Amino acid sequence: MDIEKIRELIKLAKEEDLKVLRVGDMDTEVHIETKGEGVAVQSAAGSLGASAAENDADSGLHTVKAAQVGTFYMQKEEDSEAHFVEAGDTVSAGDQVGLIEAMKVFNDVEADIDGVVEEILVENGETVEYDQPLLTIRPKED
């Protein structure tokens, strides 16, 4: 989808006073959120998400994904060396594994299964998009 089409969608969202507008086709998906005077736009290629899901299914790993657009933090406090989790840590469903900050609001990122953190896929302070993989967990075997 070209930039002009995205601009038209942003204009439409503002004119119609829409809070969220999500448009997609077989190749691309665009997610637009309006908040006050600001606009958050995210675009993702559909085939990329499908291949990531297939890789996880093949490897037996579970992926924790971003629930929103924002800045991902792994550190418990600014300028701290203490991280919520690191590769090799055991986590339970509901354990906090990071934070996503959007518009000065911090939202917890939680593990949704029991297991061991295999890999952290983003850096501390990195901007993440909606549904972007953040880390992988090897599910606990019963």
- Asked whether residue 55 falls in the same domain as residue 69, the answer is no
Domain interval for residue 32:
1-59
Distance of CA 71 to the CA centre of its chain: 9
Residues 24 and 39 in one domain: yes
CA distances from residue 97 to 13, 53, 83, 141 in whole angstroms, order as listed: 33, 20, 8, 20
Residue 140 and residue 77: Cα distance in Å, rounded? 29
Contact by Cβ (8 Å): 138, 61: yes
Range scoring the smallest mean pLDDT among 32-46, 62-76, 101-115: 32-46
Question: For all residues of the chain together, what is the average pLDDT?
Answer: 80
Q: In this structure, are strands 20-24 and 28-35 parallel, antiparallel, or unpaired? A: antiparallel
| Of 1-10, 76-85, 105-114, the least confident | 1-10
For the chain, the C-alpha Rg in angstroms (whole number) is 17
pLDDT score of 52 more than 70: no
Name 41's bridge partners: 32
Number of domains, the chain? 2
Same structural domain, 3 and 70 = no
User: Does residue 43 contact residue 23 with C-beta atoms inside 8 Å?
Assistant: no
Domain end marker among 14, 35, 59:
59
Question: Does residue 134 share a domain with residue 118?
Answer: yes
pLDDT at 142: 64
pLDDT-derived band at 17, boundaries 50, 70, 90: confident
